[in-house]
Structure 1
């Protein structure tokens, strides 16, 4: 199972006035942790609820290496067995504390030190100097069998993307050091998409569109705004899901609601990560998967689920010799996505139209993909 990538914000400058904007923007943008000076911990906790990393027992994650061997304040010992930082990390771990090692990779020897320190920590923060990718590759390879998360120091979103993708797996997170507050938001956006699967979408040919009467349909309102081209994967069969477009487009009939997908009837499946769930099961606080016409995905949190009785229509489509179906509300604001990536109102669908779908010949049991024969009609 993929780990969620994390973003840490470096806010351990000389003064609180220097650090506060980074801390505030990190909190507002959804950063996972703030690296602080010990004396700034009370002020940061007043600003909001977020994990803090700092030297000293008051922190959620205790950092070793700052003002010591890791950052070059003290010289590295000839024998790493004599390292004060490694000894301190071992002591803290034995006391049940969460520990992060901090190392500035100045040369090969510091890379070797980081590898040894990482063996004793929960997190290893590595900050490159002139050369960054090769040391990070070596550390990822050297520590991949251990339960330690590597946090790579970066200065902008371009470096963050590179770090999170190095050696396919990438670092487990990044430590962003920047005064450009907009870059904090950019890196958070990269984090949100990093590690998310790309779902292959293919075209299906519509073979039937039919009004079927009244039924209970589900609107999924998220705490995120969607843009044109984005929606959710919905369908009556778990292995054949239609890309149902968000209400992100203006309409002459109703204002845009870019947080919403009018997903379909209560019985339908919705793709959630690697699994599917019934629309009727969803509640506020659950996580759903937003997907665009290119198959790119991102998570979103449900803010509200609305179930109301509405007129429904059946849409059937043929894909790879199979027929897949879904029931959608019969209204012009509900749209599928055409093969050209543009939304198509269900009220204008006709036989022969092509729409984007996800299709997998494998069956699913309790939402989990399995090799089994299951017939859904």
Structure 2
């Protein structure tokens, strides 16, 4: 789990309120420039003293600080300070503004047990370089963010990002938004086996191919259905075809009015998806992850209607392109050609427990047939 650090050095009169929020939300550390601001904080948070660059002399005492983070260019190397202050943990702080400070950051993440970094330019390349330099190191890397909505970007750099993020909130509530962003996970879904009851040619209509901005796995696709309470797992085009190359980013999903999941709770019609939006990629074992939509291709094609039923009696329908290369996942990740399906065949699906209104789960009378 990535760490969340609260920076109260410039919080002035909000320090107490921000600390209470951070403690309540389970922040990992609170960062202050004055040892007095760390007094009385509970042991559930790491108390971090981070003197400013305008204070070349460290305070005479560190108070209740569990960790002292210093700017090596101003205060000296953390390892040397640790020798002068036995029993005190030291880390490094580097503000990356140019090639020299980038080199200092790379040296710190390799050498020091903890490094706090701030990047001044609007590019992720310096962070990529620092993370690459730290690939075989074991120190903690924390990067400062200006806003909570920057969290996904930082955490996605080189796929894994730093070990944690530090935020200096301007108002109560911002710390909570950072925590939400850091903890956001895509939950597993419960998939169920469905029994095919009918496969019929449905005539012409518009179907949507969902092209994502990611490589989809061979047992991964998206859930699609004609009814919001019954969805079928349509597989990605990662499996070879005799007449065309694979499209590992694509799911030939279904008729445009079909539902799919934008996340574990909210549905979208296939016709509503747009470039830059999100669709939920789902594996045959129920694992999920958000996938960015790069393009939606809507074209007129022959359609095939597939009816199925769950053991609970829930009826499910999906309408897909009437072509052999459109595939659905079965138990164990079996790849099934849709036009080869017959009554009695088993396919994988998901049964949401609530109906939908404009994509949101609701509790009201709703028939879909």
TM-score range, shorter chain: 0.5 to 0.7
TM-score scaled to structure 1, two decimals? 0.54
Aligned to 1:96: none
Counterpart position of 1:65:
50
| Map of 1:338 onto structure 2 | 330
Q: Is the 8 A contact 2:202 2:303 kept in 1?
A: yes
1:375 maps to what in 2? Answer: 367
Whether 1:224 and 2:214 are equivalent positions in the alignment is: yes
* Secondary structure, counterpart of 2:271 in structure 1: helix
Residue matched to 1:355: 347
Gaps of 5+ in 2: 6-47, 71-81, 91-108, 115-130, 143-150, 164-180
Structure 1 runs of 4+ off > 6 angstroms? 4-8, 66-69, 106-111, 129-132, 155-160, 172-176, 189-194
* Rounded Cα–Cα distance in structure 2 between residues aligned with 1:213 and 1:323: 21
Give distance in 2, aligned partners of 1:193 and 1:79: 28
Query: Could you tell me which residue of structure 1 aligns to residue 288 of structure 2?
Result: 297
Length, aligned pairs only: 245
Q: Identify the residue that residue 233 of structure 1 maps to in structure 2.
A: 223
| CA displacement at 1:185 relative to structure 2 | 3.5
User: How far apart in 1 are the matches of 2:258 and 2:214?
Assistant: 22
CA distance in 2, matches of 1:326, 1:275: 18
* Kept after mapping to 1: 8 A contact 2:198/2:306: yes
1-side partners of 2:183 and 2:138: how far apart?
15
- Rounded to whole Å, the distance in 2 between the matches of 1:373 and 1:158 is 57
1:77-226 to structure 2, matched below 5 A, reads 77-78=62-63, 185=158, 187=160, 195-226=185-216
8 Å CA contact 2:196, 2:342 repeated in 1: yes
SS of the residue corresponding to residue 331 of structure 2 reads: coil
Give 1:242 shift.
0.6
In 1, Cα distance between equivalents of 2:213 and 2:296:
11
Cross-structure match for 2:275: 284
After superposition, the CA RMSD in angstroms is: 4.6
Pair 1:328 & 2:320 matched: yes
The C-alpha deviation readout for 1:302-332, integer Å capped at 9, x for no partner, is 1111111000010011011111101000111
* Shift in CA distance, 372/303, structure 1 to aligned 2, threshold 3 Å: same
Deviation at 1:193, TM superposition (A): 11
Structure with higher Rg: it is: 2
1:246 aligns with 2:233: no
